[in-house]
Structure 1
Amino acid sequence: MMMGEVQSLPSCGLHPRLLDALTLALAARPQEKAPGRYELQGDNVFMNVMQLTTQMPAEKKAELHEQYIDIQLLLTGVERIAFGMSGAARQCEEMHVEEDYQLCSQIADEQTITLQAGMFAVFMPENRINRDVQWMSQMTSKKW
C-alpha cells in the first residue's frame, strides 16, 4: 500500500506505470464526470468515478481484488479506508472472477488510513482488502 498527494506526483516515487495511470485519470478530469466507469487505456487502465456516503464498518463489506491494482483518489470530502495485508480477508463471499472482486465481512489485523481531497492510495492485489468507512461522522465524498 502506498499513499501520497496529487500535488506531489512528480516526486512521490511511484512506479512509472502507476504514475502514468494517475496522470491519465487526472487529465480525464474525474471531478467533472458523473459516477460510472471510464476507460483510459481500454480495459487495462480505467477509472470508476463514485459518489458515496461513508458507512460504519459493520455495514460495509470489504472488497478484495486478485488482478487489478486499485488506485483510490479522493476528489472531495474525507474518507477513512480500512485495509489488511495478504490473507487478512475473513468471511468472504464467492469470487466474481470476470469483474475481479470478492466481498468480505471482516479484515483481520485491520489498519486504517485517512484520505482528504487531493490524496491517493494505491493497493496492490496481493496485499489489499479495503472498505470505505465512517470516520467521525457520516460524510459524502467523491472519488475515482
Structure 2
Amino acid sequence: MIVGELNTLPSSGLPAVLNNALTLALAAKPQDKAPGRYDLEGEHLFMNVMTFETQHPAQKKAEMHEQYIDIQLLLSGEERIQFGVAGSARQCEERHVEEDYQLCHDIDTMQTLHMKPGMYAIFMPGEPHKPGCVVTQGEEIKKVVVKVHISLLTA
C-alpha cells in the first residue's frame, strides 16, 4: 500500500504508470462527474466515480483484486480505510474472476488509514482493503477509484 496527497504528486516518486494514471484521472475532472465508470485508456486504465454513505467497519467486507491496482482518491468527506498486507486476508469468499474481486471477512494484523480530500491510497493486487468506513459518524463521501491493470507495470 502506498499513501500520498495530490499536492505532492510531482515529487511522490511513484512509478510513472501510477503517476500517469492519477494525472489522467484528475484531467478527466472526476469531481464534476456523476457516479459511474469512465474509460481513461480502455480496459487497462479506467476510473469508477462513486458517492456513498460511510458505514461502520463491522457492516463491510474487505476486498482484494488480482489483476488491477486500486488507486483510491477521496474527493469529498472523510473515510477510514482498513487494510492489510498481501496474505493477510482471512475468511474469504469465492473469487469473482471476471469482475476481479474477492470479498473477505477479516484482515489479520489490520491497519487503519484516515483519508481526507486530496489523499490517495494505492492497493496492489492481493492487498485486502475495506474502504468507506466511518471516521466518527456516517457521512456521504465522493471518491474515484482508478483501476490500473497490472500489465501496465511491465509495459
- TM-score, with length taken from structure 1: 0.96
1:64 — aligned with what?
A: 64
Please report how far the alpha carbon of residue 24 of structure 1 lies from its aligned counterpart in structure 2 after TM superposition.
Answer: 0.3
Matches for 1:76-91 after TM superposition, within 5 Å: 76-91=76-91
Matches for 1:1-144 after TM superposition, within 5 Å: 1-126=1-126, 128-132=127-131, 133-144=133-144
CA RMSD of aligned residues (A): 0.8
Aligned length: 143
Other structure's SS at 2:68 match: coil
CA distance in 2, matches of 1:57, 1:51: 17
Counterpart of 1:48, as a letter, is N
Please report how far the alpha carbon of residue 107 of structure 1 lies from its aligned counterpart in structure 2 after TM superposition.
Answer: 1.0
Counterpart of 1:129, as a letter, is P
Please report how far the alpha carbon of residue 8 of structure 1 lies from its aligned counterpart in structure 2 after TM superposition.
Answer: 1.1
CA distance in 1, matches of 2:44, 2:18: 12
Counterpart of 1:124, as a letter, is M
Other structure's SS at 2:63 match: strand
Counterpart of 1:98, as a letter, is E
Please report how far the alpha carbon of residue 42 of structure 1 lies from its aligned counterpart in structure 2 after TM superposition.
Answer: 0.3
Residue ranges of structure 1 left out of the alignment (5+ in a row): none
Residue ranges of structure 2 left out of the alignment (5+ in a row): 145-155
| CA deviations over 1:42-91 (Å, ceiling 9, x no partner) | 00000010101111111001111011000000000111000011111111
CA distance in 2, matches of 1:119, 1:129: 19
| CA deviations over 1:13-49 (Å, ceiling 9, x no partner) | 1100000000000000000111111110000000010
Please report how far the alpha carbon of residue 92 of structure 1 lies from its aligned counterpart in structure 2 after TM superposition.
Answer: 1.2
- TM-score, with length taken from structure 2: 0.90
Other structure's SS at 2:112 match: strand
